[in-house]
């Protein structure tokens, strides 16, 4: 049966699992490293938790259902997921990547994958034509949409048409909108990435990552890689993410509502020079985001009038923590220059707009009047 998304956040496409586990409504945590074999040559379907575990499998089924994929794999972090993904490629391969990605992704590409002789072109996929960058060695295009932190929006279906023409993969990091608001596989992507730490988990209490794929070949390759490198998500963390997913829809709706209110308040503040939020009609990616997603999410970035103002806000917020990460129920404010993108060379950062006047907000579920009051006093402190 094709359940609607809020139902699938709880069960995936399987509502019979509690009957298989003594009626347990909360899916059991199979906190075991290994499983006994009934006899030689026979298996329960589970042999060793590094390869697979029932709690992890349940989480993967739910995530796969939400992204409408063929299979999903759960990893110990978002970066572990991307690291495993990059093992699909060989020395000499070439990848086209967005130039405004999470700083940890760029660090992995530039310090690890380039060392392993994979080459990259970093371009603005929201504006530039990707086709001239494709060459015989090109194996994939890797994008975030919206991007971290400048909120650029790339047309997924348009890029997918090009990747299919050239027989290369389209990889989309969907962390910012989550599967609740955006499903890149239905738009033509081949692989979707999530930092499960963020909106999927939603409570800032565990770290996780996901890859969701659209075919059996990719599934088989990535399961082999995951088993080999040992980066699968542990059972207890899987259970925490399963629990977090149950409220994904409720959280995303409330967080988006709050983000709209804060974005519009920031637009009126004399010390704010720019607000980057794809839900604002003046955002360059507004129409594309509206076309390919069912919402705009709760991530927004804003530019203030001076580095002194930025530092004063970070020093003066009382309710909103100055912290890395995003997507949890708590609103967080981040200074990308010294946090998420600190390892990116300054000229590279500034080329994409990440300067010492840029702040990023991950908007939570608090009462929005309290959030705005906290920002207001921080500006004025």
Edge-to-edge order in the sheet of strand 299-304 = 272-276, 299-304, 358-362, 332-334
Neighbours of 237 (CB within 10 A): 23
Q: Is 190 a catalytic residue?
A: no
Instruction: Spot the catalytic one: 71, 93, 155, 173.
Output: 173
Alpha-carbon distance 259 to 282, whole Å? 16
Alpha-carbon distance 63 to 53, whole Å? 15
Instruction: Spot the catalytic one: 61, 198, 251, 254.
Output: 198
Structure tokens at 320: 């909103």
- The alpha-carbon radius of gyration of the chain (Å, integer) is 21
Cα three-residue angle 82-229-73, rounded to 5 degrees: 50
Q: Is 347 a catalytic residue?
A: no
User: Please, is 277 exposed, middle or buried when counting C-beta atoms within 10 Å of its C-beta (0-12, 13-18, 19+)?
Assistant: buried
Q: Cis ω on the peptide bond leading into residue 359 (within 30° of 0)?
A: no
Residue 362: which H helix or E strand, with range? strand 358-362
Q: Is 50 a catalytic residue?
A: yes
Question: What 8-state DSSP symbol labels residue 251?
Answer: H
Edge-to-edge order in the sheet of strand 209-213 = 71-75, 209-213, 191-195, 169-173, 138-144, 94-98, 119-123
Question: What 8-state DSSP symbol labels residue 299?
Answer: E
Instruction: Spot the catalytic one: 50, 139, 158, 243.
Output: 50
Q: Is 107 a catalytic residue?
A: no
Neighbours of 246 (CB within 10 A): 16
- CA distance to 18, 156, 257, 323, per residue, from 5 (Å): 19, 21, 19, 30
Structure tokens at 126: 């929201």
Instruction: Spot the catalytic one: 11, 30, 102, 180.
Output: 102
Structure tokens at 278: 């794809």
Alpha-carbon distance 137 to 119, whole Å? 9
Alpha-carbon distance 8 to 281, whole Å? 31
Catalytic residues: 50, 102, 173, 198
């Amino acid at each position: 049966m094709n359940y609607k998304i809020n139902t699938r956040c709880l069960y995936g496409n399987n509502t019979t699992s509690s009957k298989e586990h003594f009626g347990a409504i909360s899916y059991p945590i199979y906190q075991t490293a290994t499983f006994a074999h009934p006899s030689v040559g026979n298996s329960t379907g589970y042999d060793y938790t590094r390869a697979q575990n029932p709690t992890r499998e349940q989480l993967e089924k739910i995530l796969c259902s939400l992204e409408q994929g063929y299979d999903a794999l759960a990893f110990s972090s978002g970066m572990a997921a991307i690291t495993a993904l990059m093992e699909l490629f060989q020395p000499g391969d070439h990848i086209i990547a967005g130039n405004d990605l999470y700083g940890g992704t760029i660090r992995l590409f530039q310090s690890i994958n380039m060392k392993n002789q994979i080459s990259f072109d970093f371009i603005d996929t929201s504006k530039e034509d990707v086709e001239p960058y494709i060459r015989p060695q090109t194996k994939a295009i890797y994008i975030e949409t919206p991007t971290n932190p400048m909120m650029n929006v790339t047309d997924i279906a348009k890029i997918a048409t090009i990747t299919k023409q050239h027989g290369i993969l389209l990889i989309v990091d969907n962390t910012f909108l989550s599967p609740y608001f955006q499903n890149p596989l239905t738009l033509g992507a081949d692989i979707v990435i999530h930092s499960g730490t963020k909106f999927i988990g939603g409570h800032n209490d565990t770290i996780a990552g996901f890859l969701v794929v659209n075919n059996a070949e990719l599934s088989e390759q990535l399961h082999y890689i995951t088993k080999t490198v040992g980066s699968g998500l542990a059972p207890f963390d899987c259970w925490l993410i399963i629990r977090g997913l149950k409220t994904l829809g409720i959280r995303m709706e409330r967080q988006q509502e709050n983000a709209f209110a804060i974005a519009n308040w920031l637009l009126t503040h004399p010390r704010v020079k720019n607000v980057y939020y794809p839900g604002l009609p003046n955002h360059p990616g507004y129409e594309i985001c509206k076309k390919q997603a069912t919402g705009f999410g709760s991530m927004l970035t804003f530019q203030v009038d001076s580095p002194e103002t930025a530092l004063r806000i970070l020093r003066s917020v009382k309710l909103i923590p100055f912290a890395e990460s995003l997507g949890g129920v708590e609103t967080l404010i981040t200074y990308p220059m010294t946090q998420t993108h600190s390892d990116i060379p300054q000229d590279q950062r500034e080329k994409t707009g990440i300067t010492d006047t840029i702040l990023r907000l991950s908007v939570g579920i608090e009462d929005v009047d309290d959030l705005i009051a906290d920002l207001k006093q921080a500006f004025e402190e």
